[in-house]
Chain A
Amino acid sequence: MLALWIVLGVVALLVIFVIATYNGLVGLRNRIDNAWSQIDVQLRRRYDLIPNLVETVKGYAAHEKQLFENVAHARSAGIAATSVTEQAQAENAITQALRQLLAVSEAYPDLKANQNFLALQEELTGTEGRIAFARQFYNDQVLIFNNKVQQFPSNVIAGMFSFAARDFFEVEEAATGPVNVQF
């Protein structure tokens, strides 16, 4: 009789463990998907800032036509992108173009003193920060999820219900290269 109760108890604990682990994995997976789309949200906030920035700089450095074209072109490519790779390329292009624009504006002291420009610069820095942090959060969640999927005993449950380890977000080589500034 006692043996029966012990067996039932063990079975109950096992069931609870399986349910809890499964739910944990589902929750983490959803959080990862959410974090991924959050990166997108932050990237798109950049688009809104760009036209304003370009107009302000144009007021002081109208002849830097090439830079303005680069930025505008990269921005429209980003908005129009359909696949993840296209989007990533466009985002890298925007980052590069913005860096060049801001680097060049160092040569115009009047522009640097302009309140509007300073405010926009702060907003851009803030947005770049948000993008970076959104990516960091995504990677942190992927780390937690991958640990759970690969470590014992949760890997058993993960295998049973086909949870696979996810990839980390990696910055492409192009974005980490040196900035080319032409005066």
Chain B
Amino acid sequence: MYEQLEKNVRRSALLIAAFVLVVLAFGWLFGWLFGYGPLGLGIAVVFAVFMAWNSYRNGDKIVLRLSRAREVTHAEQPRLHNLVEGLAIAAGIPKPRVYVVEDPAPNAFATGRDPAHASIAMTTGLLEKMNRVELEGVVAHELAHVKNRDTLVMAIVATLVGVIVLLADWSLRAFWWGGGRRRGGDGGAVGILVLVGILASLLMPLFASIMRAAVSRRREFFADMSGVQLTRYPPGLISALEKLRADTTVVRTAAHATGHLWIESPLDEQKATLQSRVNRLFHTHPPMDERIRVLREL
């Protein structure tokens, strides 16, 4: 279990480091092509941080309202509250606020800018269909997301995506309106780089989305492992995931913006066709089979 945890931490760090390097490279290319130097990258970073900051700070309220979540007291949901309290003690984090979403599809999510301001939500479908150890596994997974500060990680990744999208957008506009280096006599080499620049501007946003999905999938594996570290009982989460896999109902209120927060993706398809293999690059969650297999190997 500890090896798995370390592996996840390493791979998350590598993914994000690689992403940052790519952003810097793209920023350098942009700056060089248009003669702004690092200023272009700097402005893009400021914009992107500004855009992501608000969603990071207030995203939890928005998500809870979007999902029509209702806060519940200990008296209303004693079993759920007891599980959340116990696992919060095991994780060493303050107890998050507990919400319920009226929906027959079993699912759950966690949100909040840091462990001191976190909320977790379960659908009524999940509460009905899971037994105690399965519910414990799901709560542990969600609390692991809170403990691992996955909202912050995804906000950083969103910022990186934002920088790329902004730079790509500005490059394409600049190319369109005739900007760029015009150095007489140096045409050949500049021409190639301009071409590279245009290609990069078209493809980079796509690449950024793929990177974001890759980080999201890695954090899901990490949350599975961390959750099991809390319960020390893999069969609980395995059983819950198997039930989720078998159940085909989908949460009604999920949107593309909130897809990555749920324990089971409400958006991805799991069929294995050629088209879906490309689609898989963009999935926010790893395939359920893969998650169960990794847990069984513990």
Contact = CB atoms under 8 A, between A and B. Distances in A.
Interface string B69-92: 000000000110111011101111
* Residue of A42, A127, A130, A133 most packed against chain B (CB within 10 A): A133
B181 interface: no
Interface string A106-127: 0000000000000100110111
B82 A133 contact: no
A125 to B, nearest CB: 7
Interface string A41-61: 010000000000000000000
B82 A136 contact: no
Contacts of B78: 119, 122-123, 126
B86 A130 contact: yes
A92 interface: no
Interface in B81-123: 81-83, 85-87, 89-92
B85 A137 contact: no
A53 to B, nearest CB: 15
A130 B92 contact: no
A126 B86 contact: yes
B11 interface: no
Contacts of A122: 78-79, 82
A126 B82 contact: yes
B232 A129 contact: no
Contact of A136 (B79, B81, B90): B90
Contacts of B86: 126, 129-130, 132-133
A2 B78 CA distance: 68
Nearest to A38: B89
Contacts of A31: 92
B87 A133 contact: yes
A129 to B, nearest CB: 4
Contact of B85 (A130, A140, A141): A130
Contacts of B91: 137
Contacts of A119: 78
Contacts of B232: 136
Contacts of A123: 78, 82
A134 interface: yes
Contacts of A141: 92
Contacts of A38: 89
A28 to B, nearest CB: 12
B1 to A, nearest CB: 12
Name the residue among A35, A38, A129 with the largest chain B CB count within 10 angstroms: A129
B89 A42 contact: yes
A42 B86 CA distance: 10
Nearest to A34: B92
Interface string A127-147: 101101110110011000000
Closest 3 CB pairs of A and B: A126-B82, A133-B90, A129-B86
Contacts of B87: 133
